[in-house]
Structure 1
Amino acid sequence: MNMTDTCTGVPPLEGTVKRGGSLADFIWFRCGGPAEWLVRPTDVEDLSQFLSQLDPAISVLAVGVGSNLIVRDGGVRGVVVRLPKSFAEITIEEGNRVRAGGAAMGITVASKARDAGIAGLEFLRGIPGTAGGAVRMNAGAYGREAQDILVEATLVMRDGTVEVWPLERFEYSYRHSAVPAGAIIVEALFEGVPGDPETIGAEMERIAAEREASQPLRSRTGGSTFKNPPGGKAWQLVDAAGCRGLTIGGAQVSEKHTNFLLNIGGATAADIEALGDEVRRRVFEHSGVELEWEIQRVGDAE
């Protein structure tokens, strides 16, 4: 157990608390500053007690694998919560339901559903993040979104209370939900339909092959950079504006898929964010469309 730091109001935890914990070690871009406090709770009760005792003035941010995140170079003030493997358990329940911990990876959830003959969750194979992240941002791919399969989810609120939200309470829209700042999704209950494991597996393989062919999966990158505008595709607008391969510092617009930014070596978070803003400027100048960021940008600039 870590002792309370009386100077900061950070309470004790059964898990780990690290001051100045590196985020660049695990977020996909592999750059950016540290967390003021990086917290890994052991279980829901541990997290709940920690948040209930944490000074309300201290901000809380949940981070999964950081596949949709730019952490600015000055780092993130307050507490960053990263759920460990103890939050990644997946169980199959009656009624074609899959219960997944917030830290469970989308591909693992899809695979467990396949093995149980549950169809409808295949698209999670194409989402490179956690179940918690998918629920928070209504992640989607290949024609489906989290809202299409979610029954309910368990949240630990910023004040430490534990709440179970039914689907309707999330008030989902495109890549957005009503989950408040500081709340952490620790478990989700998904529902599919009966299916043949071989057919489900074939669809997952198709999704994997399509991603491999079209996205820079083996690069230091994030997820989709910009939201698709109504009736359009962000990558097409970026391409039409002449941004394919555009570089600022160590950051580059992917040649393979123009809605992905890359850290091609030594990029700072400032390089990546500046490149994204330059792409937005050029797209607006070319087409009059103002692209919205889909990647979450957090922390302070240096």
Structure 2
Amino acid sequence: MGRVTERRRIVRIRDGVVSERPDTLVAEEPLELRLNGRRLAVTMRTPGDDFALATGFLVSEGVVAAAEEVRQVVYCAGATEDGGNTYNVVDVRLTEGVPVPDITLERNVYTTSSCGVCGKASLEAVRTTARWPPDEGSASPLTLAPETLSTLPDTLRSAQRVFERTGGLHAAALFTPDGDLLDVREDVGRHNAVDKLVGRALRQGLLPLAEAVLLVSGRASFELVQKAVMAGIPVLAAVSAPSSLAVELAEEAGMTLVGFLRGSSMNVYTGTHRVAGAGVQEPPVQPSAR
């Protein structure tokens, strides 16, 4: 199976001094996803947690929502011409009776690690397939203190073991409303890291994640909001900017979306009711001079 990192010799130039040294690179390999034996998609990913990635992707596509809906997940033997197993082809077999939308079987998609696979590229599609709208996921809606949100990026950064060695990975993490780290995954694609988190939660019977906060490195795209909505996550925070469509979907779904989360500074784009003190206060009216 492909390793998470690889070692390569490089030429390093620093302050005019040239030297040769080994460097650690993050591995990037294709993963072909199959559903009931049929080719579904190919994504570039960092090897590891491949079964979780595959099932998490199916959650985001609205195909499955519970562990019992998945009968088996296997690497495909005979993936090469000589019958060898590359460990780069995963087949998810659904439990008998679980419906499979035609659109997922008809799509043969190739995607880079930076963009992911967006099979529900419209607000209407997400609205009609989401099983756990964020506002309906808990009897008592989750609330967060800005002080708690501000601690999450440093906690995520300290948990990125492979990033420490390579500097070349995105990460996604789940937190409790009190800021306790629940799980963290790394990958060359931030969408893959989220799929790995969701897939692990699916297999542990934890969906919907109605009491969890999702933090992602980098920006918040439409696809990441989609994945959070489909997993029932009420709060998505990112260290960088969201896209306009991401904000639109988050607002439509009733999700709290936080961007530019850096230190004590952050922008709350939607769902301000979940962030304590986020209500905008009008400045006091100054008495008119007489």
TM-score (norm 1): 0.26
TM-score (norm 2): 0.27
Larger Rg: 2
